[in-house]
Structure 1
Amino acid sequence: MMRVYFCSNQNIQSSFTVYMKNLVAADFFLCLSLPLRIAAYANNSSIMNNIHCSFGATAFFLNIYASILFMDFIAANRYLKIVRPMETHALQMVHTARYISAATWLCLLALSSIYLILFLQNFRGQIPDAFTCESSDNSPLSVTYKSIHCMTFVSFIFVLVSLILLYWKTHQKLREVQFSSQVSFRSQTFETSKHNMLVLVVIFCVCFVPYQLVKLPYIFIKPLLRDCTAVHTYYILKELTILLTALNGSLDPLIYFFFCKTFRSQFTFRGRQPVRE
């Protein structure tokens, strides 16, 4: 695993590094859940199907939304540093970042645990379909499954809107600096911050927007479809969006590279002295 202290050293800690380390952890555990999915698809056995649909799918869900939320926290942290460069907001305190991170994991673990418990109860002695991991439409598991995805979809929309607004406000701040009498290095700093924020927004949209646009309609429309071709087409589309979501683990290092000076220094021939963000 990538060394999670690449953005800090033992003596330097910030809210930014707290969120970045949590994002690294989410990416790492997301990658760990993928072999279970691959194994279930490759070997359609009851044991692998149950393991994938219970623990594998739960871990995948948990770390997807952890990545979504921590990307938003990182963007908000960088924005506050741009608009308030000479002061520290309460949300930028290290202890606050730790509390927010812990609360995020606990909330996601609670939602995931509810689904996991209901799944184990619902499929006791049964063989779930590894390709859908779904039960009958009127079961408590199905109702809970739909409710959780509706809640997370609302959270996703909130994060998406906030990321777009943060990028737009960063752009507005850059324009103000460019038309003011402030020194040029401030303008260059804001320009870099705007580009970094754009990288984060693009990665977020590429990896997560297609999945969210397809997954929720798929859950509610699939039971109404009677044409096998339509069901299969919709399923393939959903799986492609899941592939894009899994790609997030490979694209997030771009966020580390653009947002973290110490991480960039690992790819240069200069001295590797830790640089405070």
Structure 2
Amino acid sequence: MAPGTTLPVDIPTNHTCDIDDRFLYLVVPVGYSVIFILGLLSNLVALCIFFLKSSTLSITVYMKNLVIADLLLVLCLPIRIYYHNKEGPFFLCRMVGISFYVSMYASIVFLSLISLDRYLKIIKPVQVFRIHRAEWSRKTACIVWAVFACSTFLLLLCEKGTEPCDKICFHFHRKRPAGGAINLVVVALFFILFLVFVCFYGTIGAKLSTMTLGGSDLQARSRKKKIVVRTYVVPAIFTLCFFPYHVVRVPYILSQMDVIMDVSIQQQLHMANELMLILSAVNSCLDPVIYFFLCSAFRKTVRCAVQGRCKLSMNERAVSFNRSANEF
């Protein structure tokens, strides 16, 4: 060897992912399994009830689409369970991962449209807005799905990551600045939507407090209490399922972009993100509760089924759906 020649030094490279699942290794599959069973059964029942007879109500159109979004999310869960903490086919994992989030945000959008529909009917009960027409609602739903379909196609074009964690399905994946910025914008839009929710239901609460419902007797007070309960079911479920996830989402995205570089903090944020993601998926099991409270036909059909005396005819169902227009 010639004088002055240096030996090549092997630079150690990390071929393993520094972020692990720890107790999530059991919690995530078990949690998603329970959600899959309950969500599949409850939404299949809702699907059968809503599609037995067409309705002329805008809110029913949004509920039908909400059922479809929840079913799509639930059907993603078996793949997420099977490939949890494993390497899997890149395209399959990406497709299922994108479909999961698209379904979740579709649910958020349709819950928002349901809330807007209820807000206008309670605050402006005499006026008939375009949003209250079933034809307009169907067009709106088509636009929503078209936007999400285009988003899915664009996201599928993203290149495969090269980091060790990127090889594991549904795990902690590094994000480039552009991808991280898009995710942060989506989170910001959610918080804006949440503030609109607060304004809507604050106004609705003020309106309900002035309602007399025909008198001050016990029956009137009982009916008013039921109206209040039914009105706040939507924001309660919306807040419980989606708000915690999006609070955790901000620092989690920053850790994916390496703005937060401490591995121990990244580990904690990964675990918090996965737990809150399970909570957001619980929404698919709770949405049928919304149908039960806001749709009289759904409520009557479920009660008939529980009592074993489903005698509601198709015509009666149609009348019941139409009565739901003025139901709080």
Does the alignment reach a TM-score above 0.5?
Answer: yes
Distance 1:221 1:170 in 2: 39
1:201 aligned to 2:240? no
Does residue 109 of the first structure (1) align with residue 149 of the second (2)? yes
In 2, Cα distance between equivalents of 1:251 and 1:21: 15
Q: Partners of 1:85 and 1:9 in 2: how far apart?
A: 28
Relative contact order (alpha carbons < 8 A, sep ≥ 6): 1 or 2 greater? 2
- How far 1:229 sits from its partner (Å)? 2.7
CA gap of 1:58–1:8, structure 2 versus 1, over 3 A, is: closer
2:41 is the alignment partner of 1:10: no
Match of 2:203 among 164, 169, 181: 169
The CA RMSD over aligned residues, in Å, is 2.6
> Aligned partners of 1:81 and 1:263: how far apart in 2?
20
* Contact 1:14–1:93 (8 Å) recurs in 2: yes
Paired residue for 1:41? 84
1:128 aligns with 2:167: yes
**CA distance in structure 1 between the partners assigned to 2:51 and 2:75 by the alignment:** 25
Q: Secondary structure at the match of 2:84?
A: helix
TM-superposition CA deviations, 1:98-150 (whole Å, max 9, x none): 111111112222222211111xx3359x9623243634x5xxxx344323322
Take 2:78 and 2:116, find their aligned partners in 1: how far apart are those partners?
33
Aligned residues: 263
8 Å CA contact retained: 2:46, 2:288: no
- 8 Å CA contact 1:8–1:17 kept in 2: the answer is no
Assess if the C-alpha contact under 8 Å between 2:251 and 2:269 holds in 1: no
Measured in 2, the distance between the counterparts of 1:108 and 1:205 equals 22
* Cα shift at 1:247: 0.6
Give the secondary-structure state (helix, strand or coil) at the position aligned to 1:177.
coil
TM-score of the pair, normalised by structure 1: 0.84
CA distance in 2, matches of 1:12, 1:79: 20
Q: What stretches of structure 2 of length at least 5 have no aligned partner?
A: 1-43
- Offset of 1:46 from its aligned partner? 3.5
Q: Distance in 1 between matches of 2:138 and 2:52?
A: 17
Q: Which residue of 2 aligns with 1:93?
A: 133
1:211 aligned onto 2:245: yes
Identity in percent: 25
What residue number does 2:35 align with?
none
Residue 221 (str. 1) matches residue 252 (str. 2): no
Of 47, 68, 71, 2:108 maps to: 68
Deviates more, 1:21-30 or 1:198-207: 198-207
CA distance 1:8–1:114, change in 2 (3 Å) = closer
- For the pair 1:51 / 2:92, whether they are aligned, the reply is yes
1:17-52 CA-partner distances (Å, limit 9, x unpaired): 11000000000000011112111116x2342x5422
CA contact (8 A) 1:62 1:108 kept: yes
Give 2:281's aligned residue: 246
TM-superposed CA distance for 1:69, in Å, is 0.8
Moved more, 184-193 or 152-161: 184-193
Partner letter of residue 214 of structure 2? V
The 3 A distance-change label for structure 1 pair 200 and 169 is same
In structure 2, C-alpha distance between the alignment counterparts of 1:111 and 1:74, rounded to whole Å: 23
